[in-house]
Chains A and B, each alone.
Chain A
């Protein structure tokens, strides 16, 4: 029983990372119908930004760990958002203006991701960066369960971030504009809504989430390397689609679903089978529900 609960906690933590990254994919997809394949690498950049911010604040400014953490969260999110918005302005927007085929934009996104990865490798070298400890590690034990405070923080942060995002998308004017664009991108500009600013805001939100995920990930697994975002990004994307892409509830759920599958498989079977079984289950879900769990099949007018 303890073993089960321990694994559930691990899956919740792992799912928080997936969910935060999947949210970014889904936001951008919902508004632009663009699979932003660079998003996993934006997460990686976020982790590196968090590393530099933390070492700067700790080392040169001489702040305490707690103050650093409090400052690092907004700073990381803002700086990572800048990276996302830069990508949008430099790479995606000109293509959108030209009316290029959607898939060419996707390829551009893939290339941007590769550039971020390898540019990072070329600039910073292949040596791994070790993230400084920002939280005193305390272990709570209830009835044989051991939980680190970091795990609790990660899980709570993911849920809070989701709640905030859900509030923004469903209850605010700008969220309404976002939903409007994903509904009908031709009618929305006629209503006097600045489409480009809404898209920039979407990228800000998505990349901010990725930056937050990067910071939390660096705190939980304090070794950073340039390719850390690639695999987790692809998997989060798959999770987002299984949940039903374009729907933030789906992305959140899909992230946790994938994490529970992976941790569950690793707990029962040999861990080499993790990807195989997890992806097979996801494939079966996609066969049964081709548009994902929350996805709505688009009606096609003839």
Chain B
């Protein structure tokens, strides 16, 4: 019973959120904040896999999110909606309820393939040179999409929302919230299983000492390839969810600032701590929303808070520990590693 306590409590939490949204007890603004929070959790925990656990410095995560957002939107427009781009829907829109995971999976797979562009140079180089490659990839992705006039180019892309409203026509539930929560919990679950698998051990070995890991028969290239692909693939899933929440895509919104946000969340939570990156994503999203009334001063105060945090706690909120290291009693209920 105790083993399932955390999973059960998360499920209950998700059901409560969905129930409240259904009953109209929380308004649309709060709902959207919760959805962005969940998307940020996916972003920060997936980047944490590369930046925290593997000890690389990837600063182009927004690019993969962009790939996922566009691919997810295009799949959903192709399958479920009558759009100018693809003409009539391939499937009856009602099937979106069962087939929406296809959209997320497709986005994830294509983004993971885009991750190979970064993974291949990482076989030979580490550290700041790799950081540049990720940065350049981010620019390349944004620039490529801006030059594709078919999907809107710099004007942006709209038309993926009807897929969500079609689900609502069949059964009246807050579908977007449901998918976002499924995506968020699924991603965190996947990352946790990945870190605790043999691959995850290999990731930690690569972080500690690559040469030693190589000597101890860890296939470092394969580890790097898979880790980058998992990380960027999940960023793609986050992007697809984001696209359907917002309903409008613009390549400019996935630039370096987006990547910076993801990086900030990772280092705020503490490198290599999954619970840290989840907590920091929640805190960071709340912080941004709480400071919204300050308008322009928001982006002065937020960096200031982060700088001060770094001064007084340079290892982030959790500092490379999981919740179970801080509160050992939690281990009775849940195995974190």
A residues contacting B by CB (< 8 A) are 29, 35, 91, 94-95, 98, 100-101, 103-104, 106-108, 110-112, 114-115, 117-119, 121-122, 230, 234, 237-238, 241-242, 245, 272-273, 275-276, 279-280, 282-283, 286-287, 290-292, 295, 300, 302
Contact = CB atoms under 8 A, between A and B. Distances in A.
B307 A111 contact: yes
Contacts of B124: 290
B125 A290 contact: yes
Given A108-B307, A238-B135, A283-B133, A103 B57 contact: yes
B8 to A, nearest CB: 36
A293 B303 CA distance: 34
Interface residues of B, number: 44
16 contacts: A100-B315, A103-B271, A104-B314, A107-B264, A108-B306, A108-B310, A110-B264, A111-B307, A117-B299, A230-B256, A245-B129, A272-B154, A276-B144, A286-B125, A286-B129, A291-B125
A98 B314 contact: yes
A104 B316 contact: yes
A159 B199 CA distance: 51
A276 B267 contact: no
B197 to A, nearest CB: 25
Given A103-B267, A103-B271, A118-B299, A273 B132 contact: no
A13 to B, nearest CB: 22
Nearest to B316: A104
Nearest to A291: B129
Contacts of A117: 299
Contacts of A110: 260, 263-264
B86 to A, nearest CB: 24
A111 B211 CA distance: 34
Interface in B251-310: 256, 260, 263-264, 267, 271, 296-297, 299-300, 302-304, 306-307, 310
Given A100-B310, A107-B264, 18 more contacts: A29-B128, A91-B311, A100-B314, A111-B264, A114-B302, A115-B307, A118-B303, A241-B129, A273-B147, A275-B140, A275-B142, A276-B140, A276-B143, A276-B144, A280-B140, A286-B121, A286-B129, A295-B129
B304 to A, nearest CB: 6
B51 interface: yes
Interface in B130-164: 131-133, 135-137, 139-140, 142-144, 146-147, 154
A111 B284 CA distance: 14
Helix, strand, loop or mixed for chain B's interface?
Answer: helix
Which of B137, B140, B212, B307 has the most chain A CB within a 10 Å cutoff?
A: B307
A287 B57 contact: no
The DSSP consensus for interface residues of chain A is helix
Contacts of B297: 118, 122
A35 B140 contact: no
A238 B303 contact: no
Query: Which 9 pairs of residues, A with B, have the shortest CB-CB distance?
Result: A100-B314, A290-B125, A111-B303, A276-B143, A118-B299, A275-B143, A241-B132, A115-B303, A114-B303
Given A95-B311, A118-B299, A241-B129, A290 B121 contact: yes
Contacts of A122: 296-297, 300
B140 to A, nearest CB: 5
B135 to A, nearest CB: 6
A91 B121 contact: no
Contacts of B132: 237-238, 241-242, 286
Contacts of B139: 275, 279
A120 to B, nearest CB: 10
Contacts of B211: 300, 302
A118 B121 CA distance: 35
Interface string B32-75: 00000000000000000001000001000000000000000000
